[in-house]
């Protein structure tokens, strides 16, 4: 675990390049801010899908809940960004904890339907409670204070991008420590074989509830970042396509390792920006075609060089013998 927790050269280079874009790409800060937020959102989904094996088609429920929480607080005078960020994380975590007992029951198909139903239910509540959320017109009148009382949000997105990138980096460090900890290893055991994990004494239900709550908090923070940096929240944050897009991001980048969501967010937004410039009306068609190619050909073949830089698991040290997996016992 200590060896897996060490930072590699490629990882350090990735974050160094991300920090350098603050100074060398000032004209792209608005889209880079979106990439940082989408990357954090994809990271939250990867925690439950890639590491715990929990499928979800309604992850936007936590994203939107966090966005509305931060936006409503700011509209009613609580304009401190960090206060809104913490409140959004707590609210989304509470929602994730309450709904986890419904989501973790049944088969994968049941989980898909329950997560989708939770997101649709919240979307309808936000639409009907227009006195609080603004309804179809969106939550307007949001005014954010400076970050740490020093850095005002500007129209060029410089402060917004620095703020989103910093929050995403800190939460990434926390997630990285979690996935290489005994807790993270137990999640992989549950994902691979929940029956065997329960047989060796792992509290499967409690582990899944914990990671689902954590992932909900991460998604809530991502939603709060969107609300604070754009100073507007609409029903779009709870829409189905929001959950579908983040699933597509993970398909592009790869699930099961934390950088998959970040790389997928970069690829998705760059493709969207380029294709919408070429064909504004049909850019979704081309992204769908790329997705089909990735699924049919295989993402590993298309990104073998990237996979060498971002391996799912580090190679074993020289001289260490390979341990063959044990033959599974016949289940009664």
The structure's pTM equals: 0.84
Question: Is 314 part of any domain?
Answer: no
- pLDDT tens digits along 127-177: 888 888 888 888 888 888 888 878 888 888 888 999 999 999 999 999 999
Domain that includes residue 33, residue range: 9-309
State the chain's maximal CA–CA distance in angstroms.
67
147 forms bridges with which residues in the sheet?
Answer: 151
- pLDDT tens digits along 21-54: 988 888 888 889 999 999 999 999 999 998 888 8
Question: Is 270 part of any domain?
Answer: yes
**CATH number of the domain bearing residue 44:** 1.10.3470
Instruction: Please state the domain count of the chain.
Output: 1
Total Cβ atoms within 10 A of residue 319: 5
Question: Is 322 part of any domain?
Answer: no
Q: In 3D, which of 163, 152, 166, 158 has the Cα closest to residue 27?
A: 158
Q: Three-state SS for 239?
A: coil
Cα–Cα–Cα angle for 35, 36, 40, rounded to 5 degrees: 115
Question: Is 142 part of any domain?
Answer: yes
């Amino acid at each position: 675990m200590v060896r897996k927790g060490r930072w590699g050269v490629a990882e350090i280079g990735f974050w160094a390049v991300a920090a350098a874009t603050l100074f060398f790409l000032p004209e792209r800060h608005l889209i880079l801010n979106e990439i940082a937020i989408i990357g954090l959102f994809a990271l939250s989904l990867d925690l439950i899908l890639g590491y715990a094996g929990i499928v979800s088609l309604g992850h936007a429920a936590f994203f939107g809940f966090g966005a509305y929480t931060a936006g409503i607080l700011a509209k009613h005078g609580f304009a401190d960004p960090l206060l809104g960020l913490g409140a959004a994380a707590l609210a989304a975590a509470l929602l994730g904890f309450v709904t986890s007992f419904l989501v973790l029951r049944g088969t994968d198909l049941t989980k898909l339907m329950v997560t989708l139903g939770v997101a649709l239910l919240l979307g309808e509540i936000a639409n009907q409670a227009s006195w609080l959320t603004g309804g179809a017109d969106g939550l307007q009148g949001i005014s954010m204070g400076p970050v740490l009382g020093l850095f005002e949000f500007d129209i060029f997105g410089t402060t917004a991008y620095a703020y989103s990138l910093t929050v995403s980096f800190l939460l990434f460090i926390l997630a990285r420590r979690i996935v290489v900890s005994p807790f993270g290893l137990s999640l992989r055991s549950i994902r691979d074989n929940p029956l065997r994990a329960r047989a060796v004494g792992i509290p499967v239900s409690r582990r899944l509830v914990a990671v689902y709550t954590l992932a909900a908090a991460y998604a809530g923070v991502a939603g709060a970042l969107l609300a604070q940096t754009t100073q507007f929240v609409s029903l779009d944050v709870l829409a189905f396509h929001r959950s579908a897009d983040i699933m597509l991001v993970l398909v592009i980048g790869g699930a099961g390792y934390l950088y998959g969501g970040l790389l997928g967010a970069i690829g998705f937004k760059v493709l969207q920006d380029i294709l919408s410039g070429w064909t504004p009306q049909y850019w979704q068609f081309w992204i769908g075609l790329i997705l089909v190619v990735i699924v049919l050909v295989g993402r590993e073949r298309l990104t073998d060089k990237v996979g060498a830089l971002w391996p799912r698991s580090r190679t074993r040290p020289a001289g260490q013998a390979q341990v063959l997996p044990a033959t599974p016992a016949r289940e009664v």
